[in-house]
Structure formats: structure tokens, C-alpha cells
Amino acid sequence: MAIKATVYKAHIQLSDLDRNVYSNHAVTIARHPSETDERLLVRLLAFALNTTESDDVGRLEFAKDMWEPDEPSLWQKDHTGRVSHWIEVGQPDEKRILRTSARVERLTIYSFSSSTPIWWRDLEPRLTRIQNLSVWRIPSEQSQALAALAQRTMQLQVTVQDGGIWVDDGTRSVEVTPQCLFKPRQAP
């Protein structure tokens, strides 16, 4: 008998001063049996960092990446069903990155493992021509601190200001400072 997913519910109160996004989100997340609390909370963080105030350009949703190999951690689809923003959590391989970047408007990767510098050092020379790719590193000590906030039902306040992020559950607060490893060059 297969082990079933565990359902987590989170209410996220977002105050993103950097993007002027202020919103509340009630989300339900299916946690795959092999997924860790750390990865689950990084997925929630990725949701908060990429959600918009309005669904005018499509809704950001959790996908089934650990169940379906052709799906990301999160995706935003426009009103025609086309994926406009593909978000990966972890360390996808070069083939997946190249294939995905050719099909979507934006591809964002959030890596949180202590091996991220090694993974990125090996891939970077071959991926710098991709103009719709952004790669972020969540320092592993910060992602592990986020994991301590995991509960089946969560009330999280996420504040983003000047590139810093604070995630608070009412009793504990975790500061996260994502490091940009790569983003497309802006046109002159």
C-alpha cells in the first residue's frame, strides 16, 4: 500500500514592500511522503515571493512536481492555460532547465541545499545564454530554520523589504536573505 500525501494548510499574510504587493492567501499543500519540512517551507516561500495581488495575468498555483515529473513546484498559467512562469524548488538538471526555458516566459529556481554552490558552478557556464532564467539560493541554515515553522496548520506573516524576508508564525521569526546566483541582463 502506497503512503499518501499529508495535507498542510497555510494562511499567508504577505506584505511585500519591494513589489508593493499586500495580500492574504489561504493555501492547501499536499506534501509528498518523501518531501521534507524544509522543502515544503521553501515552496511556501517561493509562493509568497512570486504571487501577485491580482489574478489578471493568471493565478500562481502549487503543481505536482514530486508526483508528476513534467510539472514544476509552482506555476502560473495565463487565462488560456499556457504556463507563463515555471518555478522549481531544488536543483533541476541542465536538460530540464533548457527544455523548460524554451517553453515558458519565465523560469525561476530556488535552491536551498548546502550543495547549491557546487551544483550551480557546474551548470552556470552552459546556462548564461538563457534570458528568462533566474536562479536564487536560500542559504541552507536559513531554509533549515524555516523548516522549524512547519505545522499541519500554519498562520504565517511574510514581510519583504529591501531584499530581506521575514517569516513569522506568531511565536518565532526567521530571516531569509536569498542570494541571486543568476538573472537575465536588462536590455540597455
Q: Where are the domains of the chain?
A: 6-182
What is the reported pLDDT for 187?
43
Calculate the dihedral angle through the C-alpha atoms of 49, 50, 53, 55, rounding to the nearest 10 degrees: -160
CA 153 to chain CA centroid, nearest Å: 19
CB 28 within 8 A of CB 150: no
Weakly modelled stretches of the chain, pLDDT under 70: 1-2, 186-188
What is the reported pLDDT for 184?
83
Partners of residue 45 on adjacent β-strands: none
Cα torsion angle, 46, 50, 53, 54, sign: negative
Whole-prediction pTM: 0.94
- Rounded Cα distance between 141 and 179, Å, is 13
What is the reported pLDDT for 180?
96
Which residues lie closer than 8 Å to 147 by C-beta, 6 or more apart?
36, 37, 38, 40, 41
With a pLDDT cut of 70, the percent of the chain lying above it is 97
Superfamily of domain 6-182: Restriction endonuclease-like alpha-beta roll domain (3.10.640.10)
What is the reported pLDDT for 109?
98
What is the reported pLDDT for 69?
83
Distances, alpha carbon 147 to alpha carbons 38, 57, 79, in Å = 4, 31, 34
Calculate the dihedral angle through the C-alpha atoms of 73, 76, 79, 80, rounding to the nearest 10 degrees: -60
Query: Which amino acid is present at 99?
Result: R
User: End-to-end distance of the chain based on CA atoms, in angstroms?
Assistant: 57
- Rounded Cα distance between 164 and 110, Å, is 15
